[in-house]
């Protein structure tokens, strides 16, 4: 089974530009999560999509946005890039629906390394 795929692997942008990152979940997974991992730090939750809807977002400014398409793939957009946006952006997918008695792990891609200069 193919894993979570992310593109591009690396992305270099200039401050003030926009970046678009893409994610294809594992086949059959309807939920997509996005995380930011700055160099040497842990994972910070960005966004969660399920069945095409944004279900939750982390403590990030509105210039971080995204969407989920009918085929469950997802896109993360970062507008007005700042130097501190340089990080590894990780996408993960999982099956649904989720209840207390049933939950499934996240499966991660290998990320997009965004560098803002």
Partner 1 sequence: DAKTTQPTSMDCAEGRAANLPCNHSTISGNEYVYWYRQIHSQGPQYIIHGLKNNETNEMASLIITEDRKSSTLILPHATLRDTAVYYCVLYNFNKFYFGSGTKLNVKP
Footprint on this chain of partner 1 (rule: CB under 8 A): 4, 31, 33, 35, 41-43, 45, 48, 50, 55-56, 90, 92, 98-100, 103, 105-111
CB-nearer residue toward partner 1: 71 or 98? 98
Cross-strand partners of 44: 36
Tokens representing residue 67 in the block: 């969407």
Nearer Cβ to partner 1, position 14 or 39?
Answer: 39
Q: Which residue from 31, 33, 55 is spatially nearest to 46, judged by alpha carbons?
A: 33
Q: Which two tokens stand for residue 93?
A: 């997918």
What is the rounded CA–CA span in Å between residue 59 and residue 1? Answer: 33
Min dist CB 10 to partner 1, Å, is 11
Shortest Å, Cβ 117 to partner 1: 20
Q: Which is nearer to partner 1, 15 or 55 (CB)?
A: 55
- Residue 71 Cβ vs partner 1, minimum distance, rounded to whole Å: 21
Strands 31-37 and 87-94: antiparallel
């Amino acid at each position: 089974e193919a894993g979570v795929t992310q593109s591009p692997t690396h992305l270099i942008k200039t401050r003030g530009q926009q970046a678009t990152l893409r994610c294809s979940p594992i086949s059959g997974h309807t939920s997509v999560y996005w995380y930011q991992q700055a160099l040497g730090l842990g994972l910070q939750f960005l966004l969660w999509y399920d069945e095409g809807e944004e279900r939750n977002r982390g403590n990030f400014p509105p210039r971080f946005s995204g969407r989920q398409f009918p085929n469950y793939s997802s896109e993360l957009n970062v507008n007005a890039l700042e130097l501190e946006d340089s990080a590894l952006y990780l996408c993960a997918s999982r099956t649904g629906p989720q209840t207390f008695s049933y939950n499934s792990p996240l499966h991660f891609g290998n990320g997009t390394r965004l560098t803002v200069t």
